[in-house]
Amino acid sequence: MKKYIFLIFLLSTFTVGAASFEFKDGTIVKGAIYYDSKNIVSVSNPTPKGIFIKTLDNKIYVHHYPLMNKAYRDNRDGTYTPVTSMGPPLDDGNYDNPSFMPNCAPARINFFYFSKKTQKELYVNFFNLTRHYATSSDKGFANTTALLDAKQTALSIHAHIKGTAYIPKNPNTLAKRKKWQDKVGGELAFSEHVSWQKD
């Protein structure tokens, strides 16, 4: 399977330094989670539907959703794990991209696309974030809303880890992948706020 490595250093309010985000398709992104630094309850912040990734040069990473060419992943311990190749996000028109970038294709990455390792790391992150808000002396609307968002996001990731999250049937195909690449390449890739690599 072809492996793509994007070295991205991302900044956020709650994450310092770079973490590795591993996708089921073999892509590895090094960075952090994007937060709107001006609005703690922004629709562009993490939600139960996923996260955005922001690059050091202030660009939003848009995933390329490559086709898998193996049905199973070798766990290197004598066992194999089935790999589900899910297509690009379904075009439901419900996009909440950050306000500084085009809104014609969803850049938010659903937790389903990440490997179990990354899902578990994200769960710990949002569990800790929930505790941060819960123990804060600030009991205002913004903090309370951020607490609920973090808790719901942690629960969503936990459901993905346990395999109980609702996943729409959306197998990847050459046609879907071409449509996604054409859409992003034609509408997002030329934006100065987008990091996109067509393979």
48 part of a folded domain: yes
135 part of a folded domain: no
Res 84: pLDDT: 57
Res 47: pLDDT: 92
170 part of a folded domain: yes
146 part of a folded domain: no
Res 10: pLDDT: 35
How many domains in the chain? 1
130 part of a folded domain: no
Res 110: pLDDT: 93
Taking 50 as the pLDDT cut, the residues of the chain under it are 1-14, 16-17
Res 14: pLDDT: 38
Res 7: pLDDT: 41
Q: Mean pLDDT of all residues in the chain?
A: 80
Res 61: pLDDT: 87
Using CB atoms within 10 A of its CB, is residue 170 exposed (0-12), middle (13-18) or buried (19+)? middle
* Predicted structure pTM score: 0.81
Domain that holds residue 53: 5-111+166-195
Res 96: pLDDT: 86
Res 13: pLDDT: 33
